[in-house]
């Protein structure tokens, strides 16, 4: 499959599946989709050749196209654990030469040699799982491998708001500079292609260099006798660099910029790291008036099968909207996808760039870098940027900002994220106290009009209530001046009286505002109608029986319906 819901294309005629295990005991893991590849050299392990071969065969079976390991992290951690196990086995007085010679005592020694830490216990679990099921494992070793290793309780606290702000501000600065550079270069290249620059001018030479980058991945350059690469002299001044870096990175994100973009996406949405770095381009549909809806397909591989996919929608209707960041990332990575197509490796992945690792005679396709990998994380760390613990980022966003399950169940959210987070406990004390105070204020202010369902027909009336003291004594106007506020505010007036005769109109008005809620942006509806809706809701729940409210809806007259529409449209106010 090329993606969720899409059929793969047939391979060309004569194509054969590449071998996973080479004669040199090198196992190549090609991740599904555009997940990249890694090669593990088992001949480098300090073990007997037979044991090297057996361990390599286990890996090869699990990373084959129909194997259980589909992504690179699935094989990277076991490889690291097997390397540590190999070093330990080689240090024994009589190192084993095959799996059948690994005894229960050897395994217990290996287990006790690991530090009592998260990493130590993880290595024990991984190596036990790696060897379990091998036909040459003895019964005694099988029993030891099956012994349970305690799993660590989640004790990583979420980031404080100050810690998140430092990382968010740093990532924002980096991404914003990249966005300005790439968008400016794309515009410059478009003007160059349209012939807007005089031949030979600096702008023309920059455009020529950018065109060269899009075609070959390189700015025009030459190699010195020692093999060093230098930009051709006439481009050096306009580009401002002799190495060519200032040429190709004008159109592509660098390693640190990719990490900044990943962090910002996680900061807004709280998705898993593995889901974000493997994102494909969303399906984007117009939502009218310049708005765009991005339909994102998230994948959480460890769920397996179709259950590993989730659909999300992010609306981009302007700055600050949920989908605006995704639109910006799509824009700055578009030149890289165009270059990948030119290089013969078209991709629909979100994060695409050009690798900075160059070799003499490299094929153009080798310049294409798809996804985000460990090299990007190392570059981020070496740049002096604030360190990022991605699990803590996800915990922070989902427990303190979104406050709901996200790519997991409510039980997992509560037990693994919220309940064990000390920072959240402190934050929740303040939130709960503030919430209780706000709820009390809201309860007092939601409906201030008196409710007298027995009726007082002697009072002047509006569509929503009777005026208890007349329109010249309104708290919303100076004494002696007529009240000119909207009839919707009558329910907030301490002098107003709601009677039975008003209930049909108020019930219909409640229905209208509820319908508007489903057709308007939440922010706009909250700003315009929420307070009025809550006053009507309070009236319905606390003063009128539900059957009476439903019956009142049936008594609404045509004139009252017209009045409600005009009131909502603002054509009548007072």
User: What's residue 87's pLDDT?
Assistant: 94
Cβ neighbours of 453 (radius 10 Å): 13
User: What's residue 35's pLDDT?
Assistant: 64
User: What's residue 184's pLDDT?
Assistant: 93
**Under a CB-based contact definition with an 8 Å cutoff, are residues 496 and 449 in contact?**
yes
Q: What's the rounded Cα separation, in Å, for the pair 294 and 350?
A: 13
Three-state DSSP class for residue 545: coil
Q: What's the rounded Cα separation, in Å, for the pair 569 and 574?
A: 13
Three-state DSSP class for residue 362: coil
Residue 399 is given by DSSP the state I
User: What's residue 300's pLDDT?
Assistant: 74
Strand ranges (DSSP E) for 31-81?
Answer: 37-41
User: What's residue 372's pLDDT?
Assistant: 86
User: What's residue 476's pLDDT?
Assistant: 67
Q: What's the rounded Cα separation, in Å, for the pair 55 and 42?
A: 8
Q: What are the average pLDDT values for consecutive 10-residue runs of the chain, which has 574 residues?
A: 54 64 84 76 92 92 84 86 93 92 92 86 90 88 86 75 94 95 93 92 90 86 71 81 66 93 94 89 84 87 66 88 93 93 90 72 76 86 92 88 80 72 69 63 58 66 77 69 76 80 88 85 84 85 82 88 84 58
């Amino acid at each position: 499959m090329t993606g969720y819901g899409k059929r793969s294309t047939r391979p060309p005629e004569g194509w054969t599946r590449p071998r996973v295990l080479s004669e040199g005991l090198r196992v190549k893991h090609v991740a599904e989709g555009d997940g990249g590849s890694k090669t593990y050299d088992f001949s480098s392990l300090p073990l007997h050749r037979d044991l090297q071969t057996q361990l390599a065969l286990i890996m090869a079976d699990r990373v084959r196209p129909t194997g259980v390991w589909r992504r690179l992290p699935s094989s990277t951690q076991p490889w690291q654990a097997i390397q540590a196990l190999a070093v330990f086995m080689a240090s024994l007085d009589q190192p084993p030469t095959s799996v059948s010679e690994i005894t229960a005592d050897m395994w217990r020694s290996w287990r006790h040699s690991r530090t009592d830490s998260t990493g130590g216990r993880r290595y024990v679990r991984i190596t036990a799982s790696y060897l379990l099921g091998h036909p040459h494992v003895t019964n005694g070793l099988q029993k030891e491998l099956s012994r349970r290793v305690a799993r660590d309780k989640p004790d990583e606290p979420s980031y404080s708001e100050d810690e998140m702000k430092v990382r968010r501000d740093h990532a924002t600065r980096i991404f914003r500079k990249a966005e300005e550079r790439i968008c400016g270069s794309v515009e410059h290249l478009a003007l160059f292609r349209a012939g807007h620059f005089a031949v030979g001018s600096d702008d023309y030479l920059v455009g020529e260099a950018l065109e060269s980058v899009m075609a070959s991945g390189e700015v025009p350059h030459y190699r010195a006798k020692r093999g060093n690469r230098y930009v051709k002299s006439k481009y050096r001044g306009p580009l401002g660099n002799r190495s060519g870096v200032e040429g190709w990175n004008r159109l592509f994100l660098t390693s640190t910029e990719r990490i900044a973009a990943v962090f910002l996406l996680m900061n807004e949405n709280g998705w898993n790291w593995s889901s974000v770095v493997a994102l494909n381009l969303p399906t984007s549909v117009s939502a009218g008036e310049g708005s765009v809806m991005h339909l994102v397909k998230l994948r959480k591989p460890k769920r397996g099968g179709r259950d590993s996919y989730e659909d999300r929608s992010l609306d981009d209707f302007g700055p600050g909207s949920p989908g605006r960041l995704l639109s910006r990332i799509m824009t700055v990575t578009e030149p890289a996808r165009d270059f990948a197509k030119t290089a013969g490796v078209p991709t629909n992945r979100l994060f695409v760039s050009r690798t900075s690792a160059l070799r003499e005679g490299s094929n153009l396709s080798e310049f294409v870098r798809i996804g985000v990998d460990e090299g990007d994380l190392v570059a981020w760390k070496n740049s002096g940027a604030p360190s990022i613990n991605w699990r803590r980022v996800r915990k922070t966003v989902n427990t303190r900002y979104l406050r709901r399950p996200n790519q997991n169940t409510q039980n997992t959210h509560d037990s693994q994220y919220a309940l064990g987070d000390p920072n959240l406990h402190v934050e929740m004390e303040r939130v709960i106290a503030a919430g209780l105070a706000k709820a009390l204020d809201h309860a007092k202010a939601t409906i201030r009009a008196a409710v007298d369902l027995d009726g007082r027909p002697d009072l002047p009336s509006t569509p929503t209530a009777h005026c208890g003291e007349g329109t010249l004594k309104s708290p919303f106007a100076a004494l002696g001046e007529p009240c000119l506020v909207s009839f919707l505010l009558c329910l907030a007036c301490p002098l107003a009286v709601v009677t039975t005769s008003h209930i049909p109109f108020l019930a219909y008005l409640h229905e209208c505002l509820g319908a508007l809620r489903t057709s308007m942006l939440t922010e706009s509806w909250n700003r315009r109608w929420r307070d009025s809706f809550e006053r009507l809701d309070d009236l319905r729940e606390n003063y009128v029986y539900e059957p009476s409210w439903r019956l009142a809806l049936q008594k609404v007259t045509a004139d009252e319906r017209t009045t409600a529409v005009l009131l909502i449209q603002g054509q009548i106010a007072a």
